[in-house]
Amino acid sequence: MTYIKITFPFLLLLIFVLPAQARIDIVPQKILIDSRERNGELTVLNLMNVPGTFRLAIENFKQDEKGVYEDIKKPLHSNFDPKKIVRFSPRQFTIEPGGRQKIRLSLRKPADLPEGEYRFHIKAIRVIQDEDRWNTNPSAVNITANIGVTIPVIVRHGNISAKASISNPKLVQASQTKTAKPEIHLNIERVGNSSTLGMLEVLWQPTGEKARRIGRITNMNVFTDIDKRFVQMPLYEMPSGRGVLSIRYVDTINKGRVFDEVTMQL
């Protein structure tokens, strides 16, 4: 996420003072800490062509039924404040171009924490350095930006479970979508006291041929904030002719488990 601050009322020329290929990343894309664990690990990657100093911060987001995150100022759960519970080692660090830094996070769960699932987000932010703030062009107005990337951390405590089902699948022509690609629209309905963390894929098998994948979303998460998620998935191609269209919601935590699968005869 990029933050821009402009301090002059009239701007004739805007120059962004950012290095080429100004990108960072975090792996893995999400962290799951189950009831028996108190620690987790992540790695920050500096994909820029210059060294960078980075800092970790905790953010709170709420998911809506379209999968969009809303930034909220207070913890998502009133009895689980990650800023009081979570510790990072290290929290601020410098990484050389193309380098990486492994981070360890630890939890101190409250003794009276109720069973259930809790979530927060970790953001890795590139800290603006003094040399980033000024450009050699004296007539230019400089804009500095903090570059960051965010991932969710899911903490499970006690007995938890969840199921999910696919409903109301519908094929939509490219001429009727905002992406100008064919799409499949559907709902994922979740029940239970934990999130479903999975991958959604669409397979098309024309009559007499082998099945091939024509659509996939790797991070199809339905968090405990919502019971239903509305999905609009772009497809690589529009099925034509007769055949079977299969839609699968696969659990990416428990390998081999499929939350649900539905088929459409075309």
**54 bridge partner residues:** 93, 126
Give the pLDDT of the chain (266 residues) as one tens digit per residue: 433 333 333 333 333 344 444 589 999 999 999 988 999 999 999 998 999 999 999 999 999 999 999 999 899 998 999 999 999 999 999 999 999 999 999 999 888 999 999 999 999 999 876 555 444 444 444 434 457 899 999 999 999 999 999 999 999 999 999 999 999 999 999 999 999 999 999 999 999 999 999 999 999 999 999 999 999 999 999 999 999 999 999 999 998 899 999 999 99
What pLDDT score was predicted for residue 118? 96
In CATH, the architecture of 14-157 is Sandwich (2.60)
The domain spans of the chain are 14-157, 162-265
Structure tokens at 186: 């559907």
For CA atoms 193, 199, 204, 210, the dihedral sign is: negative
Task: Establish whether domains 14-157 and 162-265 are of one fold.
Answer: yes
Amino acid in the structure at residue 190: R
Q: How far is CA 117 from CA 112, 154, 160, 178, 221, in A?
A: 14, 7, 7, 35, 14
For the domain 162-265, what is the CATH code?
A: 2.60.40.10
Q: Which residues on adjacent β-strands are paired with residue 197?
A: 221
pLDDT value of residue 64 = 96
